[in-house]
Amino acid sequence: MKKILSILFLATLFVAGASAQQLEKLFDKYMEDERFNYIYQKRASTMDRLSDMKNFDLMVLDKSTTSLGRQMLTLNSADKSLDESFTREVENALKADKYEQVSIVRNGKNRVDTFEKPTDKGIAKVSFIKNPGNIVITLNLYATKK
């Protein structure tokens, strides 16, 4: 019985570990796909983070965290079915990784969704931008400073 329980426990851990990386798997899956553009930056410097944040009222630079890297995947396509299937894949990955939706902003046909989830080292932040013919997903990983 103990053996079964320990196997079940390990299996649960394995499944949890595997599902925690669905979004990153999605980046890996499409990075070399010719329909997509992919960017990975090992570590966003403070200057990069500052230059990205022009509105300090809204996006105050969080000094308690340090960047562990960021990734961006862009789909520029006029193919509506591809847009829809990729959107579904992203949504499923976010759900599997247990991201919490932080905000939704809709402006006409444009939409920006932001998600967050705590990680072992700090926090993961995702922005999902959908414009007609253009989908962008960014993943920023941060570690909490001790």
Site residues, another protein (CB under 8 A): 31-45, 47-48, 51-55, 57-59, 70, 72, 74, 76, 105, 107, 110, 112, 114, 127, 129, 131, 136, 138
**Which lies closer to another protein via its Cβ, residue 19 or residue 21?**
21
Nearer to another protein, 6 or 110 (CB): 110
- Kindly write down the DSSP assignment for every residue of 82-100, as one continuous string: HHHHHHHHHHHHHHHTTPE
Cβ proximity to another protein: between 31 and 96 the closer is 31
Helices in 21-143 by DSSP H: which ranges? 22-30, 46-52, 80-96
Structure letter (DSSP) for residue 51: H
Determine contact, residues 122/65, Cβ cutoff 8 Å: yes
CB of 68 to another protein, least distance (A): 13
